[in-house]
């Protein structure tokens, strides 16, 4: 079947979203409501996200049932929804057009002159959030879709009125190959989602195809010091702009100074200084995210100094080095890091802050990721003074019979790190409350429900 085109639907048509409570799906539903479509949707449970959609006019169903789709002319589903879902099965039985989230997002962005797709194994949400701050500060009125909650836009979606669309672009199941980017930003390429990809070669090929979507009409902005990016982009005829710490890149940083954990630096394009900037988010990785943002902004016609002033207003998206409060004099931070590289970057950034000790509560995300990146996880926690591992957040998976977090904790402890396994969240809260001391940094870390521990600790 041909790719879905938004012009295939008449204005006011009924669109039903299966899994409407998810971050990305809810954003698409907001846009559909804005554009005058009738929106219904279902999810396992209602939430603040679905309540907000209901307030805008969407009809929300708790749970999945065939009758929920009503007279829908289009049904949009997440990648996690399978053919045996009663709403999927009913749509198929009645011949209603069924498409996944990525295809619908691609159809939307096709109508924008400037479609910026932020891709990479890490850094998508933060970089997209930086772009939001820069472009809104510059009064460009963009449409923004973020894979997290951003205070600036009051959630995960902003429906703008200009010809600019900025969104995250996830490589999982090759979703981003259904997009129409005029600017394809690639922050890094590493092994991940190995329940779909067979290895790094397949991942590189996927990103190569993604970059190729700009051929003849757009630009690739890429981290120039990532070896996998270099391999993915070699021998292509694409328009490529690079950024990195070295002056061999088109954009680079100089005169980096850290103050209380936060970097200030100068931004150069070639040999010309564009501006200086002082970040309100920590870490070397955020210097790179800033360089990427400046490069994209200049392509969009926003001067670097204006973009920098906008970036300086960014203090982080929710669940990215987010301060939750204090317990026993220790500061509690929450972070979404769930890949070994993200964990190392977050803990390295934390070490730049004044502290007596760093303590990390980590919840692995999916059995497949934990199993395939096992050795990387064993070596990811060298910068924490204490590690508490808890049960794996299964997400879309079931227990594989071999991947056990208590064994992972034992292997990390064998390296000399104070690592232990505590399965129950209440037991973790009790232990931290009894032992937290002034000057400590306590992280809750992972992509699952480990964030609830931090909320409980600071009550």
Q: How far apart are CA 454 and CA 326, in angstroms?
A: 9
Q: Which listed residue (124, 219, 242, 372) is catalytic?
A: 124
Q: How far apart are CA 166 and CA 142, in angstroms?
A: 7
| Terminal-to-terminal C-alpha distance of the chain | 53
Q: Which listed residue (125, 214, 242, 372) is catalytic?
A: 125
348: annotated active-site residue: no
The dihedrals phi and psi of 39, each to the nearest 5 degrees, come to -120, 130
Q: Which listed residue (87, 90, 149, 168) is catalytic?
A: 168
242: annotated active-site residue: no
360: annotated active-site residue: no
Name the residues annotated as catalytic.
124-125, 168
């Amino acid at each position: 079947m041909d790719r879905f085109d938004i012009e295939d639907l008449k204005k006011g048509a009924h669109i039903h979203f299966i899994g409407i409570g998810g971050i990305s799906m809810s954003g698409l539903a907001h846009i559909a409501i804005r554009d005058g479509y009738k929106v219904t949707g279902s999810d396992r449970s209602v939430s603040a996200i679905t309540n907000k959609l209901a307030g805008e006019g969407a009809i929300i169903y708790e749970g999945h049932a065939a009758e929920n789709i009503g007279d829908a002319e289009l049904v949009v589903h997440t990648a996690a929804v399978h053919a045996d879902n009663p709403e999927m099965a009913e749509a198929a039985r009645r011949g209603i057009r069924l498409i996944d989230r990525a295809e619908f997002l691609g159809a939307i962005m096709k109508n924008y002159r400037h479609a910026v797709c932020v891709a990479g194994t890490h850094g998508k949400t933060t970089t997209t959030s930086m772009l939001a701050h820069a472009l809104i500060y510059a009064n460009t009125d963009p449409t923004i879709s973020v894979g997290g909650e951003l205070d600036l836009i009051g959630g995960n979606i902003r429906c703008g009125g200009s010809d600019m669309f900025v969104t995250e672009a996830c490589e999982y199941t090759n979703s981003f190959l259904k997009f129409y980017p005029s600017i394809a930003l690639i922050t890094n390429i590493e092994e991940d989602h190995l329940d779909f990809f067979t290895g790094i070669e397949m991942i590189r090929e996927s990103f190569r195809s993604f970059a190729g979507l700009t051929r003849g009409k757009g630009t690739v902005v890429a981290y120039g010091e990532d070896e996998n990016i270099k391999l993915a982009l070699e021998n292509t005829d694409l328009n490529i702009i690079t950024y990195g710490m070295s002056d061999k890149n088109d954009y680079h940083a100089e005169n980096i100074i850290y103050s209380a954990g936060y970097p200030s630096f100068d931004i150069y394009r070639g040999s010309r200084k564009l501006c200086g900037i002082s970040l309100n988010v920590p870490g070397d990785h955020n210097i790179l995210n800033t360089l990427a943002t400046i490069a994209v902004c200049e392509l969009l016609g926003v001067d670097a100094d204006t973009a920098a002033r906008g970036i300086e207003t960014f203090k982080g998206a929710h669940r990215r080095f987010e301060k939750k409060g204090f317990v026993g004099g220790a500061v509690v931070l929450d972070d979404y890091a769930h890949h070994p590289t993200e964990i190392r970057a977050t803990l390295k950034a934390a070490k730049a802050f004044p502290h007596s000790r760093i303590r990390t509560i980590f919840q692995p995300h999916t059995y497949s990721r934990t199993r395939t990146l096992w050795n990387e996880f064993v070596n990811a926690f060298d910068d924490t003074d204490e590690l508490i591992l808890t049960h794996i957040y299964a997400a879309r998976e079931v227990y594989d019979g071999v991947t056990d977090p208590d064994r992972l904790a034992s292997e990390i402890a064998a390296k000399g790190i104070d690592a232990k396994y505590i399965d129950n969240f209440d037991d973790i809260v009790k232990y931290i409350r009894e032992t937290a001391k002034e000057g400590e940094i306590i992280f809750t870390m992972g992509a699952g429900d480990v964030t609830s521990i931090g909320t409980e600790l600071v009550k």
